[in-house]
């Protein structure tokens, strides 16, 4: 079941966005005693102008829950104290733990969640070294998390063949991703800088084929260009412009290898109006012109395809 662009109570509006999926289209949680792992629901909440979204479950739930703060912040009452949890963290609730938390529209909060159950949940969490002796998991911000939550939600909504098996696969992928981020070596930069660089990286990944001004981007985040360039290079090992160039060249390679688009079309698709300029950049990066690269690739590709399998 999905609820799109609805207010609390189901009134259509733009105050709050909800999109969730539920196993068997049921909101009633249950405790799974036979299967090792079962995903019961997943989805997202995003507040725009809705003033406050509270949740109070004095007796908790019978299942487990992970909440990922993707943007803004959440206010959680943990051990009788209010704790403000910013983006880049997750909350793990165990069965029967009191749940008391709320989000404010002023914070522009977005959260993703998943509910799960099963006789082997505790052992599965232990396998991925997910702590169960507290609530807050410092996982960092990553678009991988959102992609996995989104796919779990979609599987619950669409119920395609094998969807329950896919759900357990995606959930384990989420735990593995969390483990990797939580056990990385301590960075040399602050959490604030990490969040800003991750935000920039995601923006560049999604807009690489548009005209991007590093100066304008830095200014939009209230940062000086020199500070942003230096921080990005310290975190990513390359400058922002080189990072964008690498994405463009990598995607140009794919287009040259898999399509018959003209060099001018490919240049435009990856963000260059001038095909000659694109050709110079590509040649410098790969040692071959785009047309020569395509020719060499196809000659090598055809040479390894057995007869009759073209």
For the chain, 310 residues long, give each residue's pLDDT as a single digit of tens. 333 333 333 333 457 889 999 999 988 999 999 999 999 999 999 888 888 999 999 999 999 999 999 988 899 999 888 988 888 899 999 999 999 999 998 888 899 999 999 999 999 999 999 999 889 998 888 889 999 999 999 999 999 999 999 999 999 999 999 999 888 754 444 566 777 888 898 899 989 999 999 999 988 887 788 888 988 888 778 899 999 999 999 999 999 988 999 999 999 999 999 999 999 999 999 999 999 999 988 888 666 544 444 3
Domain with CATH 2.60.120.280 in the chain: 16-183
DSSP line for 269-304 = HTT-S-HHHHHHHHHHHHSS-HHHHHHHHHHHHHHT
Instruction: Quick: pLDDT tens for 119-144.
Output: 999 999 999 999 998 899 988 888 89
Residues 6+ apart with CB under 8 A from 34: 119
- Considering the domain delimited by 191-301, tell me its CATH architecture: Orthogonal Bundle (1.10)
Domain with CATH 1.10.10.60 in the chain: 191-301
CATH (one of 3.40.50.2300, 3.30.390.50, 2.60.120.280, 3.30.9.10) for 16-183? 2.60.120.280
DSSP line for 44-94 = EEEESS--EEEEEETT--SSEEEEEEEESEEEEEETTEEEEEETTEEEEE-
User: How many percent of the chain have pLDDT more than 90?
Assistant: 58
Instruction: Quick: pLDDT tens for 263-272.
Output: 999 999 999 9
pTM score, two decimals? Answer: 0.61
- Other CB atoms within a 10 A radius of the CB of residue 130 amount to 19
């Amino acid at each position: 079941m999905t609820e799109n662009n609805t207010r609390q109570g189901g009134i259509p509006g733009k105050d709050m966005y909800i999109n969730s999926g539920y196993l068997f289209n049921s909101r009633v949680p249950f405790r799974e005693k036979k299967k090792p792992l079962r995903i019961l629901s997943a989805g997202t909440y995003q507040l725009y102008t809705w003033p406050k979204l509270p949740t109070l479950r004095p007796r908790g739930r019978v299942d487990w829950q992970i909440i990922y703060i993707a943007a803004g912040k959440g206010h959680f009452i943990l051990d009788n104290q209010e704790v403000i949890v910013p983006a880049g963290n997750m909350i793990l609730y165990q069965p029967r733990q009191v749940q008391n938390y709320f989000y404010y529209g002023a914070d522009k909060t977005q959260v993703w969640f998943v509910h799960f159950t099963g006789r082997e949940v505790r052992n599965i969490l232990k396998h991925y070294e997910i702590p169960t002796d507290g609530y807050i998991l410092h996982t960092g911000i990553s678009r991988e998390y959102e992609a996995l939550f989104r796919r779990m939600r979609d599987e619950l909504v669409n119920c395609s063949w094998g969807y329950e098996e896919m759900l357990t696969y995606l959930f384990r992928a989420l735990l593995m991703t969390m483990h990797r981020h939580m056990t990385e070596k301590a960075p040399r930069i602050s959490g604030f800088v990490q969040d800003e660089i991750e935000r920039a990286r995601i923006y560049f990944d999604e807009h690489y084929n548009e005209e991007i001004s590093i100066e304008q981007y830095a200014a939009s985040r209230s940062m000086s260009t020199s500070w942003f360039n230096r921080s990005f290079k310290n975190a990513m090992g390359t400058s922002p412009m080189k990072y964008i160039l690498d994405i463009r060249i990598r995607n140009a390679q794919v287009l040259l290898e898999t399509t018959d688009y003209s060099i001018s079309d490919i240049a435009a698709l990856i963000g260059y109006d001038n095909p000659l300029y694109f050709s110079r950049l590509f040649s410098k990066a790969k040692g071959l012109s785009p047309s020569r690269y395509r020719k060499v690739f196809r000659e090598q590709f055809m040479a390894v395809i057995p007869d009759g399998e073209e």
